[in-house]
Homo-oligomer: A and B are copies of this chain.
Amino acid sequence: MNKNYSALTLEELPKRLSQISAITDRIGTNFSEWKVTEVGDGNLNLVFIVVGSKGKIVIKQALPYVRVVGDSWPLTLERAYFEYNALVRQEERDPGIVPSVFHFDREQGLIAMECLDSHKILRGKLIAGEKVKNLGDVIGKHCARLAFKGSDLFMDTKDKKHDVSLFQKNLELMSITENLVFTDPYFEAKMNNNTKGLDPIIKIIRDDVTMKTRAQLMLLKFTSNTETMCHGDLHSGSIMCTETDTKVIDPEFAFYGPMGFDLGMNIANYLMAFFSQPAHRKNLTEINSFQKWILKVIEETIQAFNDEFSNLWYNNRKGILFPKCLFEDQEQSSQFALNSVFKNIWSDAVSVCGIEMHRRCLSLAHNADFEKIEDLSYRAKLEARNLLMGRELILNSDKIKDASELTSLAIKFNERNIL
């Protein structure tokens, strides 16, 4: 840890940040009157909202340990550096998708950024039954733009390799995903926890050598397929929305990985919102209506991904991969090549989706979608549907053809009474 690092406190914050013009330009210089609140509800960091005479700002600071666990689990402050680097690239590749960044201090692991005060965390909205207009379209396009524009389909390969070299150093955060997401769900890991009553389902999953092998093949891709820069943690807690606007936050897990990674993790979290709905809505009509909307969001996300990826493929393919000299310039279509690439992306996405559905019920960091269900036997019953669908996805990631096959599966598992 850097010797000059010091975690901000509510009391010290104004004085410590009062000399940074990028901050005072936004919220005013009269720091003694700033109102500071700590709003971090994530697993890792301090997050402050600072209100001054001229405006508001968010200050995010890395802690030298995992907040949700405590200082027994130290964690590098350098993750703020990777978050900053990822935010810059996200903004470049999909302008407007992330909060504006005003200031970055590597030594303090600190980023000052736009306060999205009319936005709410998407996960909360999904639990509350609040719809978001264009959600699927915005996130689907965003995933496609990140996937395409960080890859050798688009980037100069020298720049891309420099970038891979840089992000390989975000290894402590990658390590968390490698363990918590890909491996811990499948054995009795120390930090695991699960809802009482799930043991028979867990047995089915851990007894399935074929499925575990496929999950580990996906881990091999996570750790070794540097296809593009991924957000790395694009669940519904990393998305903030108003009724009509959608932003992506918290890319500190950014890494070079499979082009389908973000898409898969995103869909998984919608599916968990879907499976948990019966516990959050008042009656069957409300349940059905909101579940239907979630499945529509999933389908729109995938459609938007396909459309945007295809659009970029035909109009912005300027990297070393699938160059036009091999196809269009020889008067041959590159449609088959695009379909082949997309087939691999989709299969990876489905596989990641299934694994994410497992780890959120079996490993360390669970989702509020299920955690907020107080009736534990009901929670277990809904989680069981989610877990068994996850298994199905991992086993058949290369056989599930498209979005509608995926959502049909969700409907099927939603009707099963397993526990």
A residues with a Cβ closer than 8 A to B are 151-152, 157-158, 161-162, 164-166, 168-169, 171, 174-175, 178-179, 183, 186-187, 189, 206-207, 209-210, 212-214, 216-217, 219-220, 223-227, 256, 320-323, 325-327, 329-330, 332-333, 336-337, 340-341, 344
Contacts and interface: CB of A to CB of B under 8 A. Distances in A.
A340 B168 contact: no
Contacts of A179: 320
B326 A183 contact: yes
A394 to B, nearest CB: 13
A321 B227 contact: no
Given A157-B175, A183-B323, A212-B326, 8 more contacts: A157-B178, A183-B326, A186-B326, A209-B332, A214-B340, A219-B321, A223-B321, A225-B225
A209 B152 contact: no
Which among A183, A210, A344 has the greatest number of chain B C-beta atoms within 10 A? A183
Nearest to A178: B320
Given A187-B325, A227-B224, A341-B217, A333 B158 contact: no
Given A183-B320, A219-B320, A227-B224, A327 B158 contact: no
A318 to B, nearest CB: 14
A321 B220 contact: yes
B220 A227 contact: yes
Contacts of A336: 209-210, 213
Contacts of A174: 157, 161
A164 B164 CA distance: 9
A213 to B, nearest CB: 4
A187 B329 CA distance: 9
A209 B157 contact: no
A175 B152 contact: no
Contacts of A175: 157-158
Nearest to A163: B168
Contact of A320 (B223, B226, B320): B223
Contacts of A220: 152, 227, 321, 341
Nearest to A329: B187
Given A209-B332, A224-B226, A321 B171 contact: no
A321 to B, nearest CB: 6
A108 B220 CA distance: 38
16 contacts: A152-B220, A161-B174, A164-B164, A164-B226, A165-B165, A165-B166, A178-B320, A186-B326, A187-B325, A209-B337, A212-B337, A213-B336, A216-B326, A220-B227, A224-B227, A225-B226
A368 B236 CA distance: 59
A207 B326 CA distance: 10
Nearest to A167: B165
Contacts of A216: 321-322, 326, 337
Given A213-B337, A216-B326, A223 B152 contact: yes
Contacts of A341: 217, 220
B321 A206 contact: no
Contact of A212 (B161, B165, B213, B327): B327
A157 B327 contact: no
A280 B383 CA distance: 69
A168 B178 contact: no
Given A183-B326, A186-B326, A226-B224, A213 B161 contact: no
B224 A152 contact: yes
Nearest to A174: B161
A340 B217 contact: yes
The 5 closest A-B pairs by CB, nearest first: A165-B168, A213-B337, A187-B325, A161-B171, A161-B168
